[in-house]
A and B are shown apart, each in its own frame.
Chain A
């Protein structure tokens, strides 16, 4: 064999490939069942029953929906830009999946004499990476709307893009306040800090609130679903899409919800840390592997809670008007996050100075 091939750490490569496969599969399955959960939650909040025909309790509904989408005729409008039209949903899906790379899903497993980290890539600029990928998500919306060659789609795409860009600012400022406390951009380190100290939503309640609101805006969820706006723009930027290309857009939205729930749990709610339990002591007592499974479950429960929250808000609040949206973003959230940043910086410096002025 070529010495270069031998020099590669094949075990690491396989380990990461398997991990990526597992996480992508899990994200897709969760996104599938999010569509089901969304319909059920909506139904229950409106005193209805929701889908209950396919399988017991309607549990096979997502499969039926997926099959329906695959069977639909694929229509590409004549006057559209064919390449961009196909690129749009692909890009939306790609950016939605890419964020999951830096989220630590559990501490680590000890298998085959190796410590297998449950984070695909512990990048030391993890949060920056997430921001970079999330801002790429605008392209999915923008390209889809532009390539459709439909004025409504374009209008919706522009609205969506300006919304996402404006709320990214407040989100970034909210994160800066958090970073002042953590002193690290790596998500793995942030979780480890929360394992020994407090969860960061206790130290950064305002920052968390701003981040939450901005996450709603980033995911294009109600009350900020201006780019879809069923009532005024038909279906918004994906009006011309059909079949699985439409499915990709819808799917990407749900994956975004899943990933942003994961990021919020990681940044503010201790990630995979099991609440009220000293994980390190438990690992010595029970061994590393069972605790790692419990930790993954703990993160999963937090994520599910956030996903439910996303849906709960969606079926409670009406959509913002465009000027209200911009007012909230620029005149309320950005000043608020700036104040939050200043106060946090002040307190952090005060603490460094041992609480002396």
Chain B
């Protein structure tokens, strides 16, 4: 009969020979295989101590960016919310008051900025839509949480630490992704 695939293998129904029925040679062969595996290199990555490098196109948790002087870049234009296919982003804009120039880069800023991480599909369209380079996707995962509410990330969770007052935390949050921005 014509085999359906090239991988088809006919089963041998021959009765076993005396040598085969002793099983011991086959057992010895099998045991040499398992013993050989003891010295093979282990593919396991010791996770918390060692992490695998992310792919350059990896899209993780969002970060709200600041400029070099530590001012928030977001102007609450709403383009990210429009671009978002999952409708995960909501925001409320507010006007910058005199004396707040060191906090916000432009006259308008996001007073409230929320991303629902349960809705988010991490497509990165918000990053592409942003005209101010204010939002980008970092190299971290969304951590687990006990409640649905906990997955709605506000500005406290999203905003990157100030590069002037907390340079180390800033560098850590920025990762290698933000370097070219």
Q: How far is the CA of A49 from the CA of B41 in the complex (A)?
A: 10
C-alpha gap A315/B38 in the complex (Å): 11
Determine if B30 and A317 form an interchain contact, defined as CB atoms under 8 angstroms apart.
Answer: yes
Q: Are A45 and B38 in contact (CB under 8 A)?
A: yes
Q: Give the tally of cross-chain contacts (CB within 8 A).
A: 31
A312 touches B35 (CB 8 A): yes
**Cβ B31 vs Cβ A44 within 8 A:** no
Question: In the docked arrangement, what's the CA distance between A52 and B50, Å?
Answer: 14
Residues of B with C-beta under 8 A to A317: 27, 30
Q: Is A47 an interface residue (CB 8 A)?
A: yes
Q: Contacts of A47 on B, CB cut-off 8 Å?
A: 37, 40-43
Q: Are B44 and A313 in contact (CB under 8 A)?
A: no
A124 close to B (CB within 8 Å): no
A residues in contact with B37, CB < 8 Å? 44-47
Write out the residue numbers on chain A whose beta carbons fall within 8 Å of the beta carbon of B43: 47
Query: How many angstroms from the CA of A44 to the CA of B41 in the assembled complex?
Result: 10
Determine if A285 is an interface residue (Cβ-Cβ < 8 Å): no
State how many angstroms separate the Cβ of A58 from the closest Cβ of chain B. Answer: 12
List of B residues within 8 angstroms of A114 by Cβ: none
Whether a CB of chain A sits under 8 angstroms from the CB of B34 is: yes
Beta-carbon contact of B38 and A44 below 8 Å: yes
Which chain B positions have C-beta within 8 A of A41? 38
Binary interface profile of B, 3-36, with partner A (CB < 8 Å = 1, else 0)?
A: 0000000000000000000000001001101110
A316 at interface, CB cutoff 8 A: yes
- A48 near B: Cβ within 8 Å? yes
A316 touches B40 (CB 8 A): no
Residues of chain A within 8 A (CB-CB) of B44 are 48-49
Q: Is the CB of A316 within 8 A of B31?
A: yes
Q: How far, in angstroms, from A41 to B43 measured CA to CA in the complex?
A: 16
Q: Nearest Cβ in chain B — how far from A65, in angstroms?
A: 21
* Other-chain residue from A48, A52, A313 in contact with B31 (beta carbon distance below 8 A): A313
**Which B residues are CB-close (under 8 A) to A312?**
31, 34-35
A317–B33 alpha-carbon span in the complex (Å) = 11
A287-337 interface with B by 8 A CB criterion: 312-313, 315-317
Complex Cα gap A312–B41 (Å): 19
Asked whether B30 lies within 8 Å of A316 as measured between CB atoms, the reply is: yes
CA distance A52 to B45 in the complex (A): 12
Q: Give complex CA distance A312, B30 in Å.
A: 10
Chain B minimum-CB-distance residue to A40: B38
Q: Which residues of B contact A313 (CB under 8 A)?
A: 31
CB interface residues, A 5-22, toward B, < 8 Å: none
Contact mask A229-250 → B, CB, 8 Å, 1/0? 0000000000000000000000
Taking CB atoms and an 8 Å cut-off, the chain B residues in 37-56 that contact chain A are 37-38, 40-44, 46
Highest count of chain A CB atoms <10 Å: which of B30, B31, B40: B31
A interface with B by C-beta (< 8 Å): 41, 44-49, 52, 312-313, 315-317
Beyond the given A46-B37, A47-B43, A316-B33, could you list 19 further A-B residue pairs with CB under 8 A, ordered by the A residue number?
A45-B34, A45-B35, A45-B37, A45-B38, A47-B37, A47-B40, A47-B41, A47-B42, A48-B42, A48-B44, A49-B44, A312-B31, A312-B34, A312-B35, A313-B31, A315-B34, A316-B34, A317-B27, A317-B30
CB-defined A-B contacts under 8 Å, sample of 10? A44-B38, A45-B34, A45-B35, A45-B37, A47-B40, A47-B41, A47-B43, A312-B35, A316-B27, A317-B27
**B residues within 8 Å of A by Cβ?**
27, 30-31, 33-35, 37-38, 40-44, 46
**CB-CB nearest 4 A-B residue pairs:** A316-B34, A44-B38, A45-B34, A316-B31
